[in-house]
Amino acid sequence: MTSMKKLLVVAAIAVGITACADKDETPPELQESAVPTVGASSSAPAPTDEFGEMMNEGAQAQIQQRPEEAAQLAADFASITGEQVTVVAAQQMSNIVCLDMENAQGPGALGAVSAAMATETGVSAEMMTRVAERAVAYRCPELATK
């Protein structure tokens, strides 16, 4: 798996966990399983499929609003990572970075978000910082000073 794909998968999982944690402050060990038990023959979609679909739809809508800038973002990410990056993947990454920035506490949020994402994905901290800086500049410039 390429590092950008790995980065998106791990970041999406982290955002999903964060979103769930924000809804209920009960410690995870005291919560009942949120995933329904489904028989092997069931065709029910996995919970992460719905989240992934929601992320994809949101990214597609945002790309339609700023197609040229979104294409440039993907090109910039490709330059940073040395890998091919789709416009949708770049948009999703920017959304994830900005969501993490919004949830970060105190000053130095960009450094904290970059370091955490680099650790989670195995990507170098320098690369993740460059990706996060570009994502913030594109998607949530108001959070750049946080």
CB 101 within 8 A of CB 142: no
Return the half-sphere exposure (C-beta side, CA atoms, 13 A cut-off) of residue 39: 2
SS3 40: coil
- Per-residue pLDDT, 27: 39
Whole-number Å distance between alpha carbons of 16 and 18? 5
Q: Tell me the average pLDDT across 68-94.
A: 96
Residue whose C-alpha is closest to residue 94's, from 63, 65, 116, 50: 63
Q: What does the angle CA 137 – CA 144 – CA 109 come to, to the nearest 5 degrees?
A: 125
Report residue 111 as tokens. 């450094």
Top pLDDT among 14 and 101 is at: 101
The position carrying tokens 């910039």 is 76
Mean pLDDT score across all residues of the chain: 78
- Per-residue pLDDT, 62: 95
CB 144 within 8 A of CB 102: no
pLDDT tens digits, 16-56: 434 444 444 433 333 333 333 333 444 555 555 788 899 89
- Look up residue 82 and give its DSSP letter: S
pTM of the model: 0.69
Q: Tell me the average pLDDT across 67-72.
A: 97
CB 19 within 8 A of CB 103: no
- Per-residue pLDDT, 4: 57
Whole-number Å distance between alpha carbons of 132 and 118? 10
- Per-residue pLDDT, 145: 85
pLDDT tens digits, 115-146: 999 999 899 999 999 999 999 999 999 998 87
